[in-house]
Chains A and B, each alone.
Chain A
Amino acid sequence: MQDLSLTLPRGQVLGLLGVNGAGKSTTLSMIAGALRPDRGSIQLNGADFPEQPELARQLIGWLPERAPLWAELTVSEHLDAHGRLRGLRGSALRQARTAIIERLQLQPLARRLAGVLSQGQRQRLGLACALLHRPALLVLDEPANALDPVQVAALRALIREEASSGTAVILSTHLLTEVTAVCDRVAILHEGSLRHDGPVHGDEHAALERTFFEIAMKSGARVA
């Protein structure tokens, strides 16, 4: 990654667009604290958080691509484990778990092993783990992967709900419709650098599509 500078205020939803290999997941991994940048800084509430991992623990919720899970643990145990890793204990953990299970309608799956969940269910569990501790910044890597249309609509509503409660959201996607449906702003990454950063309005789909293809084609990317 190079020449990437973004500032995200509270309550804004930023869509990260780019072709495969553009650097979206790498960027999100760095923002989530899973990957340490060799240069530059990532600041959260004014503090350089790669140097202060406890900030990431409290303030960031991350759903990685394909929602990796521990197959031998149940849905409920996953939420407990993520809560403890994020510093939740006792009644605070129990309350957070009950609330997120209810919110994402995971009650029928609560005792099911993660290893037997469908991809859509895994994605919902991953989202629940990311939201459990009420993060100030939500980082979602391809969150709509494997979700059916009803679940996609519910996911969009949830993202907007989070944003309206003051959470900053970054989501990466391949889908332009996803960006125009939920994002306030779009950043287009290509070959590891930021090529476009601007606001999104609901009726801008055609213009955004034009910008995206211009960037991708100019750099010689193959479009099927």
Chain B
Amino acid sequence: MTAFAVMRLELRRLFVRPLAWVLAALTLAELAFYFMLLLNNFLHLQVQLAARPSGPGLTDMVSVPLLSSFLTGGLLPFGLTELALFVVPLLSMSMLAGERSNGTLPLFFGAGVPPASIVLGKYLALLAWLVLWLILTLAMPLSLAHSTHPDWGKLASATLGMLLALAALAALGMACSAFASHPAIAASAALVITVAFWVVNLAAQKAGINNGVINWLAMPTHLEPLLRGLVSTSDVLWFVLLIALTLALATRRLSSDRERG
């Protein structure tokens, strides 16, 4: 129950701070522009696509590229995933590092809130914001659902992939925030680690290595199949493992804060 009290407090703080609103406004404006661009491109290619027996549809050419430009070869460099690489560290940086630098972290301990509940409550609040962000992004292609035939299976798989990716990025951000003494340090560390998880296998791929540990470590290896409509237990488990590990690290760090002062 205390995790929900922490979550409620954090959500309130998130929604009264201008940062969350500014980030939401800027990123949704960029995504709306990108959506229009993708839609325009799709409409221009309609005649050619109609001639193909199993050509790509609206889901392949608009909905999924809107979620990840990098992994689907989109028109602009920034889809939702690419924006999340920058947005999540900015939102997660104050979660625990901010409490530490303001001296408010002991208030939770003094109220008898266990470190796991602090981490979980704050994580759920961040996740709630990110889910809302994802829903607003998905509302763009879904607004065309009445007049088109979306590939619901592929869209559901891509949504699951995005949800897992956002949850993993949020957990990484929380862990960085738990270890940092200042929010700026937390944001920088989260950005570097997130980008590392994103590009760790690029050099290996250039060298023609398409399997092995280094590819397993990279987030795109597990996100790409989901975006293309292929749900595999091993990919889902990779995200769950990353989330559990980083949240456990954050909890451990807070416990040692309580022990060391």
B162 adjacent to chain A (CB < 8 Å): no
Q: Which of B8-52 contact A (CB under 8 A)?
A: 8-9, 12-13, 16-17
SS of B interface (majority): helix
Most chain-B Cβ atoms within 10 A of its Cβ — which of A33, A53, A77? A53
A156 adjacent to chain B (CB < 8 Å): no
Q: Shortest CB–CB separation between residue B11 and chain A, in angstroms? A: 11
Q: Measured between alpha carbons, how far is A68 from B108 in the docked complex, in Å? A: 11
Are B106 and A64 in contact, CB atoms less than 8 angstroms apart? yes
B158 adjacent to chain A (CB < 8 Å): no
- The number of chain A residues with a CB under 8 A from chain B is 31
Q: Measured between alpha carbons, how far is A56 from B114 in the docked complex, in Å? A: 11
A60 adjacent to chain B (CB < 8 Å): yes
Given A53-B112, A57-B112, A64-B107: A36 and B6 within 8 A (CB)?
no
Closest B-chain residue to A55, C-beta based?
B112
Are A53 and B113 in contact, CB atoms less than 8 angstroms apart? yes
Are B9 and A81 in contact, CB atoms less than 8 angstroms apart? yes
Our pick among B1, B16, B114 for the contact of A72 (Cβ within 8 Å) is B16
Question: Which residues of chain B have C-beta atoms less than 8 A from A53's C-beta?
Answer: 112-114
B216 adjacent to chain A (CB < 8 Å): no
Size class of the contact patch on chain B: 20 to 34
Are A73 and B106 in contact, CB atoms less than 8 angstroms apart? no
Given A36-B259, A85-B6, A85-B9: A68 and B104 within 8 A (CB)?
yes
Our pick among A38, A54, A56, A66 for the contact of B110 (Cβ within 8 Å) is A56
Question: Which residues of chain B have C-beta atoms less than 8 A from A57's C-beta?
Answer: 2, 111-113
Q: Shortest CB–CB separation between residue B256 and chain A, in angstroms? A: 10
Are A77 and B110 in contact, CB atoms less than 8 angstroms apart? no
Q: Measured between alpha carbons, how far is A26 from B260 in the docked complex, in Å? A: 11
Our pick among B9, B102, B110 for the contact of A62 (Cβ within 8 Å) is B110
Our pick among A29, A55, A69, A77 for the contact of B106 (Cβ within 8 Å) is A29
A157 adjacent to chain B (CB < 8 Å): no
Question: Which residues of chain B have C-beta atoms less than 8 A from A87's C-beta?
Answer: 1-2
Are B5 and A84 in contact, CB atoms less than 8 angstroms apart? yes
Are A34 and B113 in contact, CB atoms less than 8 angstroms apart? no
A92 adjacent to chain B (CB < 8 Å): no
Q: Measured between alpha carbons, how far is A56 from B104 in the docked complex, in Å? A: 17
A70 adjacent to chain B (CB < 8 Å): yes
Question: Which residues of chain A have C-beta atoms less than 8 A from B17's C-beta?
Answer: 72
Most chain-A Cβ atoms within 10 A of its Cβ — which of B2, B17, B109, B112? B112
Closest A-chain residue to B18, C-beta based?
A72
Interface residues of B (CB under 8 A from A): 1-2, 5-6, 8-9, 12-13, 16-17, 102-104, 106-114, 258-259, 261
Q: Which 4 A-B pairs have the closest CB atoms?
A: A57-B112, A53-B112, A56-B112, A34-B106
A-B contact pairs, 17 of them (CB 8 A): A26-B261, A54-B112, A55-B112, A57-B111, A57-B112, A60-B110, A62-B110, A68-B102, A70-B104, A72-B17, A73-B16, A81-B9, A82-B111, A84-B8, A84-B9, A85-B6, A85-B107
